[in-house]
Amino acid sequence: METITTVKEMQRRSEQLRREGKKIAFVPTMGYLHEGHLSLMREGRKRGNILLISIFVNPTQFGPGEDYDRYPRDMKRDLALVQGVGVDICFNPSAQEMYPDGFQTAVEVEGVTKNLCGISRPGHFRGVTTVVAKLFNIVKPHLAFFGQKDYQQLIAIKRMVEDLDMDIELIGMPTIRETDGLAMSSRNAYLDPEQRKEATSLYRALLKGKELYHQGERSTAVILNHVRGIIEEGKSAAIDYAKICDAHTLEDIEEIKGEAVIAVAVKIGKTRLIDNIILKEE
Ligand code: AMP
């Protein structure tokens, strides 16, 4: 596996691969990899000739007081894991390489980033779409893989690709969970054993919401009452939001008509976890 750390070298390598007619499959990550990341990579391995990943903890998507400094990092472990899934190239730039002195441009998707994490993490999606646009310009992928675990991020990136005519096929991938339902996340490493148990409430709550929906309930207030109730049973759980939104616009809805998403963000102690589930008629 090759590791590349500079923008120029990565661009040169990708250009060369494109000229050779290779199909570049790209999985951007912030590292501290788990099965969720690896599932995206395995799909990339199947669908492209070259599997390229990035490991970059992007400072601009963290707000002041968030966990940028203590975000878990373990490059040695990550490199061992990615070799196991057949990654060809790992792009691993420094923050200075990505944001040299004088950097002053941003890509901002408007509507779909307003609600949910857009309220609690101002500037977060601007950081995400800017870094993903940069990575796309550096890596020049044909295909790019993103997890539905970060549902609002996936929708925002889809919007950006469409609005800015980026010639890239995006593939959304299902959320990979621990056996007790907790969505895999690098941040799960922050949880102590007690909190780890409590963290299962997010998925239990989402499943309850989905069950009510399939029993015919269409009032979001009724469903969300149950969802909140389950999460609030945990003694260190504090709900940031629990909402039901239109699955495409991500606007709040009162009554579920088309496809919808239940999205939750919950602080367990100091650790902020997110999860979601799609509601649609089967
Ligand atoms: P991150 O390293 O957290 O920025 O995540 C990198 C990519 O992996 C993003 O597209 C995430 O949505 C995706 N991802 C993270 N956790 C999971 C999971 N549990 N299942 C599937 N994809 C995931």
Distance between CA 80 and CA 226 in Å, rounded?
Answer: 42
For 96-138, how does the pLDDT look when each residue is reduced to its tens digit (9 = 90+)? 999 999 999 999 999 999 999 999 999 999 999 999 999 999 9
Is residue 24 within 8 A of residue 48, CB to CB? The reply is yes
User: Token digits for 18?
Assistant: 């494109």
Instruction: Give the rounded percent of residues in the chain with a pLDDT score beyond 90.
Output: 100
Q: What Rg, from alpha-carbon coordinates, does the chain have?
A: 19
Res 282: pLDDT:
82
Checking if the pLDDT of 53 tops 90, the result is yes
Number of alpha carbons in the 13 Å side-chain half-sphere of residue 42 = 11
107 lines ligand 1 (CB under 6 A): no
Distance between CA 235 and CA 258 in Å, rounded?
Answer: 35
Q: What residue owns the CA closest to ligand 1's atom 10?
A: 146
User: Token digits for 89?
Assistant: 């190239």
Instruction: Look at the block and give the residue holding tokens 């309850």.
Output: 208
Report the relative pairing of strands 260-268 and 237-246 from DSSP bridges: antiparallel
Q: How far is the CA of 29 from the centre of ligand 1 (A)?
A: 7
Q: How confident is the model at residue 141 (pLDDT cuts 50, 70, 90)?
A: very high
- Mean pLDDT value across residues 42-59: 98
Looking at ligand 1, which atom is closest to the CA of residue 30?
2
